[in-house]
Structure 1
Amino acid sequence: MKCPLLTTAASTIVFGLLLSLVLGKWTPLLAVDDGARDALHRYTAENPAFATAMKTLSTIGSARVYLTAFALVAARLLYRHRPRQAVFVVVTVVGSALLNVLVKRAVQRARPMVSDPLITAPGLSFPSGHAQSAVVTYATLLVVFWPAMRSAWRRIATVAAAAMVLGIGLSRVALAVHYVSDVLAGYVLGAAWLVATIAIFDLRRSGSRDGHTSGWPSRRRSTGR
């Protein structure tokens, strides 16, 4: 129990630090935010293939995609008689989205402004909802599917999940709809929320009782060679 608490506490502290720097308009942070916004937006505008990739990643990370995917995951878990895990998925994903809205309304940071924007995005900027949902989405999928995967697939899935999280975060800065600090704040807030929900639902203990923690059959281990 100590590890989840420490992870949640550390993520919350980092988020609080970023929040205080943004609210205090700390000059070095603003310089990084503005510099990355201008440089990445210019590069994206000048490279159509890169722009298409960034728009694709941004769409993949949108609410309509991940909420639909998790509705199917939760339904599958219920079908496999895993209501605890189904509720965990719903609370983690929906709760994260609501938390992001509440924090955005409290902070009231406007989105970046650039000439000739590649896309437009409504709403507020801090923290990035795409970045937060990317962490929550792919980590939750790993938690749900982990017991059913072989070790080789676990490594592949972890690398793929990390690549998607980083790619979605990059896309929001490259498309000039978020600052770097927005994305970093989304990452740490998402991590804090995810670890907190894992601890609350105590999935490890649930898994020890059920034999596995996902709604898919777990891989049986051989007792001999």
Structure 2
Amino acid sequence: MAVRAAVLHLRDRRRAADRRFGVRLLGAAVVAAVAAVPFALLLILVEGRWTPLRRVDVSAAERLHRTAVTHPAWTRTLRFLSDWVWDPAVLRTIVALLTVWLLYRRAWRLAAWSAVTAVAGGVIGLVVKTVVERARPSLEDPVAHAPGFSFPSGHAMTATTSFAVLLLVLLPLVPRAWRPLCWCVAVASVLGVGFTRVALGVHWFSDVVGGWLLGLAVVALTAWAFEAWRADAGRARAEVTEGLEPELVDARPEP
């Protein structure tokens, strides 16, 4: 009887695991759809040269370019922010240093998530740029130049993935009273990156939106994978306002 009870218990556990696996697969499909469908729709409109979208792109580029040409000090500020403060190389370096710190703290899976999210974002963005081959704006008396193709904006996408990584990793170490400020700084920075790229005339408005959406898709999928691991490891589901791994605040590096 004891053996039979053990067998039945094991079978019930396997069935429960199968049900959880099915739920996770469905959840993955939903996350992928919610995150990727808006980008796919935008890509279709860009590739199809949809007139209303093209009109918005041209109008935003021309208006912001006039301001940039007539206000040199304003333009220098935008270039400083775009080329130094929010430059993809700078943000990737910060994420790389964060990943090294996580390895030092022996937060292996969180370090892997940070690295994979950053690398996946960069590679996917480059691949999409190469496939779409959209030309950058061509304006009279340009105030800035950028190499390569235009869609999606690498600056916008890198800012989205990088600030998401910083937030979701470091939030457990931030006092709760300060967390809303951290979210505001991150969101303002991501929006600011996009604005500088359009204002400097090196990206269309839709390029920036595409970078934001694709970056969110990457973060959503990798974060879901991390949450699936937490569930398999028997850890409680973490709220987004607490970061991916709230236990990090109690972790100590081993000697």
TM-score normalised to structure 2 length: 0.79
Does residue 1:52 correspond to 2:76, yes or no? yes
Please state how far the C-alpha of 1:176 moved relative to its aligned partner: 0.5
Q: Is residue 35–residue 220 contact of structure 2 (8 Å, CA) maintained in 1?
A: no
Identity of aligned residues (%): 39
Q: What's 2:174 paired with?
A: 149
Q: Which has the higher contact order (CA 8 A, sep 6+)?
A: 1
CA-to-aligned-CA distance 1:86-143 (integer Å, 9 cap, x gap): 1111100011000000001110101111111111100000000111111111111110
Pick closer, same or farther for the CA change 1:58–1:218 going to 2, 3 Å: farther
Does residue 1:201 correspond to 2:233, yes or no? no
Higher mean C-alpha displacement, 39-48 vs 168-177: 39-48
Please state how far the C-alpha of 1:6 moved relative to its aligned partner: 3.3
Does residue 1:30 correspond to 2:62, yes or no? no
Q: Distance in 1 between matches of 2:27 and 2:164?
A: 16
Q: Is residue 134–residue 150 contact of structure 2 (8 Å, CA) maintained in 1?
A: yes
Does residue 1:166 correspond to 2:191, yes or no? yes
Matches within 5 A, 1:210-225: 213=245, 217-218=249-250
Q: What's 1:119 paired with?
A: 144
Please state how far the C-alpha of 1:215 moved relative to its aligned partner: 8.7
Please state how far the C-alpha of 1:214 moved relative to its aligned partner: 6.5
Pick closer, same or farther for the CA change 1:25–1:84 going to 2, 3 Å: same
CA-to-aligned-CA distance 1:161-219 (integer Å, 9 cap, x gap): 0000000000000001000000001101100110100111226546937x982795359
* Structure 1: 4+ residue segments shifted above 3 A: 1-8, 203-209
Q: How many residues align?
A: 218
Q: Is residue 95–residue 165 contact of structure 2 (8 Å, CA) maintained in 1?
A: no
Q: Is residue 92–residue 162 contact of structure 2 (8 Å, CA) maintained in 1?
A: no
Q: Distance in 1 between matches of 2:68 and 2:36?
A: 32
Specify every segment of 5 or more residues in structure 2 that has no aligned partner in the other structure, as ranges: 1-23, 239-243
CA-to-aligned-CA distance 1:41-92 (integer Å, 9 cap, x gap): 1112222232122112212222220121111101100000101111111100
Please state how far the C-alpha of 1:4 moved relative to its aligned partner: 6.5
- Structure 1 or 2, whichever has the larger Rg, is 2
Q: Is residue 136–residue 191 contact of structure 1 (8 Å, CA) maintained in 2?
A: yes
Q: Distance in 2 between matches of 1:179 and 1:16?
A: 17
One-letter amino acid of the counterpart of residue 213, structure 1: E
Q: Is residue 77–residue 214 contact of structure 1 (8 Å, CA) maintained in 2?
A: no
Please state how far the C-alpha of 1:148 moved relative to its aligned partner: 1.4
Specify every segment of 5 or more residues in structure 1 that has no aligned partner in the other structure, as ranges: 220-225
Q: Is residue 207–residue 213 contact of structure 1 (8 Å, CA) maintained in 2?
A: no
Matches within 5 A, 1:4-153: 5-59=29-83, 60-153=85-178
Q: Is residue 85–residue 214 contact of structure 1 (8 Å, CA) maintained in 2?
A: no
Q: Is residue 82–residue 214 contact of structure 1 (8 Å, CA) maintained in 2?
A: no
TM-score normalised to structure 1 length: 0.89
Instruction: Please report the RMSD computed on the Cα atoms of aligned residues, expressed in angstroms.
Output: 2.2
Pick closer, same or farther for the CA change 1:163–1:4 going to 2, 3 Å: farther
